[in-house]
Amino acid sequence: MDFHPVHITRTAETRWEAVADDRVVGHGDVSYRPDGRLFVSIDVWQDALFDRLVTAVLADLPMTPVHTLVGEHDTALRARWERAGFTLVRREREYVLPTDPAATGLATPPAAAGLEIVRGGEADEARLRLLDRAVRDEVGATVGWRTMPAEVLVLPGGDTLGDPSHYAVAVRDGRYVGHVRVVPVPRRARIGLIAVRADERRRGVGRALLAHALGALHDAGTASAWAEADESNTAAIALLKQAGARQSGACLELART
């Protein structure tokens, strides 16, 4: 590649490609998250191309701030982004949880007066979507979505729910008060979200949802699950640790403003 000129071209609304000698030798991609944050990623075959690609991508973007994600221990990649003007804005811890009730301490479903758990795929979709929207509005009006997991699916048409079959719902006195999203993947499922209405917090709803989710995974033969939590979300971290979670790593979110 040292002997061939590299041409960087925007090939689509969200993609840039670096080409040398008719070969793609790197690309940059951007995506908008449901909360409005714009994320950029750079994938190159040789480190020397990183600066050129990120400069080309940022020059074409109409807005700031721009965000990116870096593994906590990937110091070389973090240094490249910092060279481009990015700084650390948040840290998200990654956890691995056992699903065996004997290990989680959730062998007996936690008591929560008047609470019922509707299994994944059995909730009323319209009411589930109303619950999801209400919880998101509450989060947006308080701590804000910057504290939510960075890896959020980008869905078409403003959809924030995705596949309703991935959600189990907590119901109290006929009212949907919380939900948990479990994404089944080979060998280790992902607990993507545990959310509870503001007026139902500290009443055992989150623990009951986590107990149900892990128990269902165990019954299906899945030995472990993983989840993320912003390091400032002490309530979520405490809930995970109570279920035997161990920290397996961390992801850094960097931003250029």
What CATH number is given to the structural domain containing 17? Answer: 3.40.630.30
203-229: pLDDT as tens digits = 889 999 999 999 999 998 899 999 989
Q: Which residue has the higher pLDDT, 36 or 243?
A: 243
C-alpha pair distances (Å), 75 with each of 28, 72, 82, 93, 200? 20, 7, 10, 17, 41
What integer pLDDT is reported at residue 85 of this predicted model?
A: 94
Does 118 share its domain with 84?
A: no
**Please, how many CA atoms are within 13 Å of residue 214, restricted to the half-sphere of its CB?**
32
Does 155 share its domain with 246?
A: yes
Identify the domain boundary among 51, 74, 91.
Answer: 91
In a domain, 120, yes or no: yes
C-alpha pair distances (Å), 79 with each of 51, 82, 231, 254? 11, 5, 22, 11
In a domain, 244, yes or no: yes
Does 226 share its domain with 158?
A: yes
Does 71 share its domain with 140?
A: no
In a domain, 181, yes or no: yes
If one counts the domains in the chain, the total is: 2
What integer pLDDT is reported at residue 142 of this predicted model?
A: 65
Does 235 share its domain with 108?
A: yes
In a domain, 187, yes or no: yes
Identify the domain boundary among 75, 91, 107.
Answer: 91
27-86: pLDDT as tens digits = 999 988 766 788 999 998 877 789 999 999 999 987 779 999 999 999 999 999 999 999
Which range has highest mean pLDDT (43-57, 82-96, 160-174, 189-203)? 82-96
Strand 175-183 vs strand 167-172: parallel, antiparallel, or unpaired? Answer: antiparallel
Helices (H), 111-199: 125-141
Does 117 share its domain with 223?
A: yes
- Domain region containing 59: 6-91
Q: What is the mean pLDDT of residues 232-237?
A: 89
* pTM of the model as a whole: 0.77
